[in-house]
Chains A and B, each alone.
Chain A
Amino acid sequence: MSGKYTVKRFLSENAVIITFIVITVIAIPSSQLSANYIIQEMITRLGRNSFLVLALLLPIYAGMGLNFGMSLGAMAGQVGLILAVNWRISGIEGLLFAALVGTPIAVVVGWICGSILNRAKGREMVTSYMLAFFINGIYQFVVLYVMGMVIPIRSPAILLSRGYGIRNTLNLESVRQSLDTAWMLTIGPFSVPVVTFLVIASLCLFIVWFKRTKLGQDMRAVGYDMVVAEAAGIPVDRTRAISIVVSTVLACLGQIIFLQNMGNMATYNAHDQTSFFAVAAILVGGASVKKASLPNVFIGVVLLHLLFVISPRAGQNFFGSAMIGEYFRQFIGYGAIALSLVLYASKARREAVRVREVQYGHGGGKKAAGEAR
């Protein structure tokens, strides 16, 4: 009986992961991709995406849900990259330059975002989602008009032919994969971007360390119960804002790592789906709105991208059209988010029912015991 219960509970708690594993296992053979190819892709994509997904962790700890506002950080990183390309700063230096320029911007927009979310307690996710659209408008204004008109752009190669505004696609050749190739280790048939992985590993270490600091402890306390934390004297609003600032800065750095791997950048769209894919990944990895951990990040990146890699080919082989596979990517991404949110909500409801049964009972429970004297 209890064994049955735990199996059922395990299934319901890991429903998203299990669904993904099942779909993937079915789809892998039909994609006819070689194991070597898939593994190499996974290594590349882990390096490319993990940092961005890790940026989501802190706001979840602080009880602010999934920070869709991380695309603000991505925009800051892109501004940094545009300027690096503009001034022709190349290689690792170019990336560092973009990071150094992007970070202060990310801090500022992150603080604005955090302050706004503090006024929308309980509705952080949808607010941050909308906020990202709003800041996107400002970003577009800056990149499309201010750059070239107010901010002098030296490199005509990145300007639109009308003389101001940045082109649709920015060639990042000068910094392309300079982090990945700084030390590319070849293990058997696979090449591993060691430095990128070291950067990701140090972020993981930072997060583990951070959770052991006073601020990390406060953040968790705020995440569990704002009222109690406030009563204990923890500066709740400030703590929440800091978690968003850190997340935004990490998103800025993550976007730079992502784009250096891609080698080019869709100036006006690159950040659109940053938060979307990061959120999908962490949810697929088994995280929820309230709870997430480092393993969730990596499991999620692997599972989601595994499906991304094989779905176009599987679509090609199944339906004779790669487009269907492309369509599946979107479908799967949004589906994963929706599924996780729904499962979380129903789990929370079940939990409430269970608590009620334990606490008040249907004419039973603790109070009955207290009354039975």
Chain B
Amino acid sequence: MNTKKKRLIVRATLVVAYVLAIAVVFVTGKEHTLLIDNMEVDEGRIAAFEEVLVSIDGRESVEYYADDRDMTVLKGQTHRIVIEDEISGTKVEREFKIPLDEDMVILYLPKVASGEEPYVERFVPLELESMPEDDGEIDTGFLSDPSPDAEVVP
């Protein structure tokens, strides 16, 4: 009886641990695409950086000029961003979270510097939504470039 009880406990614990392990690797291993955007916000309300060094999670810094946009892949939810304005020399360090269920978020560098929240927003690739076919106004950056393999989206 005693060993039976003990075994039941051990086995139940292991089942719980197993499920927990799935949850843990799911959360820690989840990848998110982060778009880093250095454009002016709200038609000039916050100006873009002329030249800025950005480092995420202690990786090597990448330099951005005005109107640059880049993409990177991050693993996990909590991240640290350091931006250094090469003109003024100011350095801002902030921490941000990406919600677990977001595949792609956009980070506005000017908002990070100005302290405005939220500076990380959900990004919806336009061509996946009902995109008006003749809408010439849409920014046809690299994201909406027709890819050579039509099936590879985005």
Which residues of A pack against B, CB within 8 Å?
84, 87-94, 96-97, 100-101, 154-157, 160-161, 167, 174
- How many angstroms between the C-alpha atoms of A101 and B29 in the bound complex? 14
Contact-residue size bin, chain B (C-beta under 8 Å from the other chain):
10 to 19
- B25→A88 contact, CB < 8 A: no
Number of inter-chain CB pairs below 8 Å? 50
- How many angstroms between the C-alpha atoms of A156 and B73 in the bound complex? 17
Cβ of B69 within 8 Å of any chain A Cβ, yes or no, is no
Q: Which 9 A-B pairs have the closest CB atoms?
A: A93-B29, A89-B29, A88-B31, A93-B25, A90-B31, A97-B25, A96-B25, A100-B22, A161-B151
- A156→B30 contact, CB < 8 A: no
Main secondary structure of the interface of B (DSSP, over half): mixed
- A87→B26 contact, CB < 8 A: yes
Which residues of B pack against A, CB within 8 Å?
18, 21-22, 25-26, 28-32, 73, 75, 103, 128, 150-153
- A101→B22 contact, CB < 8 A: yes
| Known A88-B103, A90-B29, A94-B29; contact A100-B153, beta-carbon cutoff 8 A | no
| Known A154-B103, A156-B128, A167-B151; contact A88-B22, beta-carbon cutoff 8 A | no
Contacts of A155 in B (CB 8 A): 103
- How many angstroms between the C-alpha atoms of A90 and B29 in the bound complex? 5
Measured CB to CB, the closest approach of chain B to A144, in angstroms, equals: 16
Measured CB to CB, the closest approach of chain B to A154, in angstroms, equals: 7
Contacts of B22 in A (CB 8 A): 97, 100-101
Q: For residue A178, which residue of chain B has the nearest CB?
A: B29
A91 CB contact (under 8 Å) in B29, B32, B153: B29
Q: For residue A159, which residue of chain B has the nearest CB?
A: B151
26 A-B contacts, Cβ less than 8 Å apart? Answer: A87-B30, A88-B31, A88-B32, A89-B29, A89-B30, A90-B29, A90-B30, A90-B31, A90-B75, A91-B29, A91-B75, A92-B29, A93-B25, A93-B26, A93-B28, A93-B75, A94-B29, A97-B25, A97-B29, A100-B18, A100-B21, A100-B22, A101-B22, A154-B103, A157-B153, A161-B150
Measured CB to CB, the closest approach of chain A to B102, in angstroms, equals: 10
Contacts of A90 in B (CB 8 A): 29-31, 73, 75
Contacts of B31 in A (CB 8 A): 88-90, 174
Contacts of A94 in B (CB 8 A): 25, 29
